Amino acid sequence: MSSVVLITGASSGIGNLTARALAGAGHTVYASMRDPGGRNADHAGELLDFARHNGLDLRIVELDVRDQASVDAAVTTVVEATGRLDTVVHNAGHLFVGYVEAFTAENVTSLFDVNVIGAQRVNRAVLPHLRARRSGTLLYVGSTSSVVVPAFLGPYVASKAAFDILAQVTAYEVGRFGIETTIVMPGPFTKGTSHFPNADHAGDIPVARDYDAVLGDMVARNEAATETLFRGADADPVAVAEEITRILALPPGTRPFRSVVDFTDAGVEELTDALLEAQEKFLDRMGFGELFPGAAPPRPAA
């Protein structure tokens, strides 16, 4: 079933690949990005050329997740043009690499503004429409890093963990409005996206040098670790776009709450399955079992 989809952070990487895949599957896709007439003009033009060449309904809308007015304007554009909004793919995000102490408080605040608060801004804009329609899907592109917690990515991992928790608790609350949630958790992809090439590094260089003196060259160690992790694996981020497309093709009520796309054999599926079971049991003991995604609606009082 085709739907109207808004994707954040679609200028490149997983967001861009997902826009192409969903449009190819017959959805009306709004690929959002910052400054599509300027810094991202080439990315916007490539997507529009792809749509024209393949006869797809793929559109560009300007959206900066750091700016509530920009988010509100983008959502209004979608709803006014199509009369509805069915699905939001929360994909916008940024990567920080470095030692935790070497990041200033301002560095970390800016990262959380994009990776966590940005999703909240988008939800604040879209949820009134979804609640009014009593339907819709929120699909979050999370990260296995929030489970396995790799080294040298502290602020990023913390932001993805916060993003994940915000997604889950929001799911509890909006589910009674017929709004479904799925959290797709990609493992690391060092090729095919701009995530690692465009990553920011810690701003306090003297502190970073102190750590390098004790721990060794972080960049060299990361490169060696990555080569080991992906040996023999075909780690193509297209797999994430394909999984998102598969999930959104499933009938409402049958979509998974979590899906892991990982080529590093980190065991995240087993960990998340156990965590979901514990969370469901805990909510039930609290008397809120009906809020857990996929739970049956509460029975009316006798």
Question: In this structure, what token pair is assigned to residue 214?
Answer: 């004790």
From the candidates 140, 156, 172, 211, give the one annotated as an active-site residue.
156
Nearest 5°: phi and psi at 195? -60, -55
Of 5, 45, 8, the closest CA to residue 22 belongs to 5
Question: In this structure, what token pair is assigned to residue 1?
Answer: 């079933």
Query: SS3 letters for the chain?
Result: CCCEEEECCCCCHHHHHHHHHHHHCCCEEEEEECCCCCCCHHHHHHHHHHHHHHCCCEEEEECCCCCHHHHHHHHHHHHHHHCCCCEEEECCCCCEEECHHHCCHHHHHHHHHHHHHHHHHHHHHHHHHHHHHCCEEEEEECCCHHHHCCCCEHHHHHHHHHHHHHHHHHHHHHHHHCEEEEEEEECCCCCCCCCCCCCEECCCHHHHHHHHHHHCCHHHHHHHHHHHHCCCCCCCCHHHHHHHHHHHHCCCCCCCCEEEECCCCCCHHHHHHHHHHHHHHHHHHHCCHHHCCCCCCCCCCC
Say whether 172 is catalytic: no
Residues recognised as catalytic = 156
